[in-house]
Amino acid sequence: MNFQANGLVFGGKVFTVLASNPQETMKVLGGEWSRAKGGFRGYPLSWVKTDGLRGVGKLGTNAPRRPNEIHVDLSGGLVSALTLDQIRVLLKWVHAQQGHVTRIDCALDDRAATVSVSTVREAVAAGQCMTRAAQVRHIVSNLTHGDGATTGETMYFGSPQSQTLLRIYDKRLELKSKEQANCEEYGTRWELELKKDRAEQCARALASLDEADWKELVVGLLRSYVDFRQIPKDAEDEERYRAPVLEWYALLTEGFQKGRLAQEKQVQTLQNVKRWVSDTLTPMLAVICATPGGEEWLQHEIVRGISRWKDRHRNLLKQPPNRFHPSSAGGNAGSPC
């Protein structure tokens, strides 16, 4: 078995710190933040950051009983864009501010898809899975029109309420359904979502370990949560723990250990930009055009925007055009600007 280009990728992160003001926190996080109209998760004041198709960051503060407490929620896309050194610096800063991490996602990629989701499902059905999870679910998503093609397949170990949730899903299939140009670079993703105490323990370990040891830590967390062994369904507990690990799982986790630390690369497409405009901007553009002189002003701003193009905008023009129908647009993908 050959596991090529396996990588460790960090996803969403949620943390709370004690800081003198939100501006200090936003400076550490970087990027442009704007004041939001409402609150966020019980915090009366909030700010929001958007970074292209990568997602959204939210910051809340000024709770009556905890005025200096600042709560931050960063989407997986934002965190995966950080360098490993930036992740370490951020974790150390959080703890220096007497803060704590309440959620952190760690993903391991089997990019060759040598172990498929169906292989995992069959092992569970055969009773070859040992896990601390109280429940296991298998979810398949299909289109309701056309040929009914499968757009996603995921195994869930644990519940959304538990401190550890493992998702094993076909990342290639997911990106293909979203028409991502780099979908063939991916395979099966093993994603640990850690919350509360387990998230904080993982964050402190990552902040203190050398980067070379990060993979070993995450693979160890994976192996402690779910294991696949050569055992019959009716085996006694003692026999189950002594049984050898299934060959494909031993090779997979060994491949993860030898894999590279990586940041996820997200490809922006013209199709996704059009989808974002259709989902998010169209109502406000219609308001502008409905006002006197609004349509002329909008046209002027569009022309003026050409002078602000950067390489990412010019690269979009080089992509082959795709037909786009607003009625087929998906969810809000985040601002592309």
φ, ψ at 58 (rounded to 5°)? -130, 145
Positive or negative torsion for Cα 244, 246, 248, 253: negative
pLDDT of residue 128: 93
CB-based contact 109:252 (threshold 8 Å): no
Instruction: Domain ranges for the chain, please list them.
Output: 1-267, 270-328
pLDDT of residue 5: 36
Q: If you write DSSP's letter for every residue of 101-137 in order, what string do you get?
A: EEEEEEEEEETT--S-HHHHHHHHHTT-EEES-S-EE
pLDDT of residue 195: 94
pLDDT of residue 317: 76
* CA dist 132 → 121, 197, 224, 309 (Å): 16, 16, 8, 51
Strands of the chain (E only): list them: 7-18, 34-35, 45-50, 56-63, 66-74, 100-110, 129-131, 136-142, 150-157, 164-170, 188-195, 226-228, 260-261
28 Cβ contact partners less than 8 Å away, ≥ 6 residues apart: 90, 93
pLDDT of residue 245: 93
CA distance 79 to 170: 21
pLDDT of residue 116: 93
pLDDT of residue 7: 61
pLDDT of residue 20: 65
DSSP state, 53?
Answer: G
pLDDT of residue 261: 42
The torsion of the CA quartet 232, 234, 237, 240, rounded to 10 degrees, works out to: 0
Per-residue pLDDT of the chain (337 residues; tens, 9 = 90+): 233 335 677 777 899 998 768 998 999 888 889 999 889 999 999 999 976 556 789 999 999 888 889 999 998 888 877 888 888 889 999 999 989 999 999 989 898 888 999 999 999 999 999 999 999 999 998 877 767 788 889 999 999 999 999 999 999 888 888 777 778 888 899 999 999 999 999 999 999 988 778 888 999 999 999 999 998 777 777 777 789 999 999 999 988 876 544 444 445 567 667 766 776 678 888 888 899 998 888 888 888 888 878 776 777 777 665 544 444 444 443 444 4
φ, ψ at 106 (rounded to 5°)? -125, 120
CA distance 155 to 153: 7
φ, ψ at 162 (rounded to 5°)? -80, 160
CA distance 176 to 186: 10
SS3 of 251-274: the string is HHHHHHHHCEECCCCCCCCHHHHH
144 HSE (CA, 13 A, CB side): 1
The torsion of the CA quartet 95, 97, 103, 107, rounded to 10 degrees, works out to: -50
CB neighbour burial string for 133-150, b if at least 16 within 10 angstroms, e if fewer? beebeeeeeeeeeeeeee
CA distance 163 to 108: 18
pTM of this prediction? 0.72
Determine the 3-state secondary structure of 156 from DSSP: strand
